[in-house]
């Protein structure tokens, strides 16, 4: 399979991109990382920053960026888990505030990495706009504004209809939450650039090297096996996100679900002028199944969300969903009727990692704290996983930092029940969210 088929972003990578050599021998390392998305690459990069002498190896089953990191919407944003309301309900006010601050740090930190290392990933710090398009969505935004006010956080602007109409030529938006610190980028290019700087620091990366299993040996070290090779290591990091359920120890901690994106042809100057979108901020609405959309560097509109494809067990062939694609195509002209007739040039999907409480987790497997996992970032992992990599590196280096002490680090996730019960429950939750969207959030 050509990895470029998995998203338009992956198609924008250089045509002569060659995968690194697979692991075909028995090796030793201090740390082995399974998964070459943002989490794995950032962990490797930060481990070498903190302890340059560490021998760090990444094992990626396809090519770095093959997973969600090479297919996402490219929003660098501050959402922790699904919504602020859920985080507050699940963990309480103080922890929800800590989560918001961690995410603000994540967005600023990713901005810092991109600019300091001159990562070529079409990064535009244009902000993030959450729009309410119905009375119920206005209520939701008002609730979030109240929370932010109570926490005394600054840096978020309230956009009324007049302000919104200066930006956009659409009658669709009724209230806006604008966060200037956020940005948009080409996610696949970010992944490949993260790979570049990790390798520059000395991380060894094997591609086309799916990990088939691992075991703990009598000496306390791990033996990690791929199809043709093996690595013995002291520390093991599972940076496999939505794919984590292939490992029995992580199986019930999260479940994958697929979110989808459609992409238009590039807009002509006149078409772009007709819709406004002057700030070029990434936009989301406030439904349960949000729609997220943005301009690309060459002025296409990428429109995603609206619904998800659920998976049964470890079925990862859920990239294509024609019903969701049609819905997203229609939604472009629902928001911008001026674009009637615009051509759709690409459609794709990718897996996000869902925990039962819709919140991320970084944790240990076993009591000796030598195996670490990170999962459950939902559709909000671009900035978060980049900072999570730093947090995981600090955990391995036995550092105590504001990040390693956070409530979601080392927390126990609520297990998903086995199939078919898990599939049944997720169908029910999806049905409820869709109904709510139809009845009150439309």
| Range 240-299, binding ligand FAD (CB under 6 A) | 240-243, 246, 259, 261, 292
- Selected from 38, 80, 178, 408, the binder of ligand FAD by CB under 6 A is 38
Task: Yes or no: say if 95 and 402 are a contact pair by the CB < 8 Å rule.
Answer: no
Cα 226 to chain centroid distance, Å, stands at 26
Out of 6, 8, 9, 60, name the contact with ligand FAD by CB under 6 A. 60
- What the block records as the tokens of 319 is 């990239």
Which residue's CB atom is positioned nearest to ligand FAD? 381
In DSSP notation, 237-262 reads EE--GGGGGGSGGGTTT-EEEEEEEE
Nearer to ligand FAD, 176 or 256 (CB): 256
> Distance between alpha carbon 414 and the CA centroid of its chain, in Å?
21
- Tell me how far, at minimum, the Cβ of 275 lies from ligand FAD, in Å: 20
Binding of residue 69 to ligand FAD (CB under 6 A): yes
How many Cα neighbours within 13 Å face the side chain of 398?
A: 4
Nearer to ligand FAD, 139 or 196 (CB): 196
Based on the shown chain and the rule CB under 6 A, indicate whether residue 81 belongs to the binding site for ligand FAD: no
Beta bridge partners of 293: 283, 303
Q: Does 376 bind ligand FAD (CB under 6 A)?
A: no
Among 6, 33, 36, 335, binds ligand FAD (CB under 6 A): 36
Residue 109 burial (C-beta neighbours within 10 Å; 0-12, 13-18, 19+)? middle
CA dist 321 → 259, 260, 294, 308, 310 (Å): 9, 8, 21, 9, 11
Query: Is residue 173 close enough to count as binding ligand FAD by CB under 6 A?
Result: no
CA neighbor of 71 nearest in space, from 360, 347, 375: 347
DSSP letter for 437, please.
I
Structure tokens at 61: 């089953």
**Given 47, 54, 74, 107, the residue binding ligand FAD (CB under 6 A):** 74
For residues 181-210, which are near ligand FAD according to CB under 6 A? 210
Closest CA to 24 of 234, 198, 231: 231
8 interacts with ligand FAD by CB under 6 A:
no
Q: Map residue 357 onto helix, strand or coil.
A: coil
**Interface pattern 303-342 for ligand FAD (x via CB under 6 A):** -x--------------------------------------
Answer yes or no whether residue 9 interacts with ligand FAD by CB under 6 A.
Answer: no
Residue 136 Cβ, how far from ligand FAD at the closest point, in Å? 23
Sites of contact with ligand FAD (CB under 6 A): 34-40, 59-62, 66-69, 71-75, 77, 210-211, 239-243, 246, 259, 261, 292, 304, 350-352, 377, 379-382, 385
């Amino acid at each position: 399979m050509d990895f470029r088929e998995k998203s338009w972003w992956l198609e924008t990578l250089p045509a002569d991109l060659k995968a690194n050599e697979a692991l075909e021998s028995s090796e030793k390392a201090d740390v082995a990382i399974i998964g070459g998305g943002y989490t794995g690459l950032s962990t490797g990069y930060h481990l070498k920053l903190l302890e340059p002498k560490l021998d760090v190896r990444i094992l990626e089953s396809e090519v770095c960026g093959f997973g969600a990191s090479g297919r996402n919407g490219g929003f660098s944003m501050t959402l922790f888990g699904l919504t602020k309301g859920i985080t507050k309900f699940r963990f309480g006010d103080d922890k929800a505030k800590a989560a918001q601050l961690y995410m603000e740090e994540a967005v600023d930190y990713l901005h810092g990495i991109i600019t300091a290392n001159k990562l070529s990933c079409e990064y535009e710090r244009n902000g993030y706009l959450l729009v309410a398009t119905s009375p119920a969505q206005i209520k939701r935004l008002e609730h979030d504004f109240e929370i932010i006010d109570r926490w005394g956080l600054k840096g978020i602007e309230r956009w009324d209809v007049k302000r919104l109409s200066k930006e956009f030529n659409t009658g669709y938006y009724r209230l806006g939450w604008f966060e200037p610190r956020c940005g948009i980028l080409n996610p696949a290019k970010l992944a490949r650039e993260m790979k570049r700087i990790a390798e520059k620091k000395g991380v060894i990366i094997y591609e086309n090297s799916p990990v088939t299993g691992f075991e703990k040996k009598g000496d306390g070290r791990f033996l990690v096996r791929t199809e043709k090779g093996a690595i013995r290591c002291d520390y093991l990091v599972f940076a496999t996100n939505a794919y984590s359920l292939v490992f029995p120890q992580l199986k019930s901690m999260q479940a994958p679900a697929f979110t989808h994106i459609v992409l238009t042809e590039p807009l002509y100057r006149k078409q772009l002028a007709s819709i406004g979108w002057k700030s070029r901020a990434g936009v989301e609405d406030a439904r349960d199944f949000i729609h997220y959309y943005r301009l690309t560097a060459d002025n296409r509109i990428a429109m995603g969300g609206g619904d998800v494809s659920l998976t049964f067990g470890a079925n990862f062939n859920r990239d294509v969903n024609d019903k969701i694609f049609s819905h997203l195509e229609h939604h472009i002209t629902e928001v911008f009727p001026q674009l009637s007739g615009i051509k759709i040039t690409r459609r794709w999907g990718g897996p996000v990692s869902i925990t039962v409480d819709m919140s991320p987790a970084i944790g240990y497997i076993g009591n000796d704290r030598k195996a670490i996992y990170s999962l459950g970032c939902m559709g909000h992992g671009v900035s978060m996983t980049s900072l999570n990599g730093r947090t995981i590196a600090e955990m391995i280096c036995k550092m105590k930092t504001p990040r390693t002490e956070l409530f979601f680090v080392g927390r126990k996730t609520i297990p998903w029940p086995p199939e078919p019960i898990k599939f049944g429950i997720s169908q029910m939750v999806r049905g409820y969210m869709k109904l709510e969207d139809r009845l009150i959030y439309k």
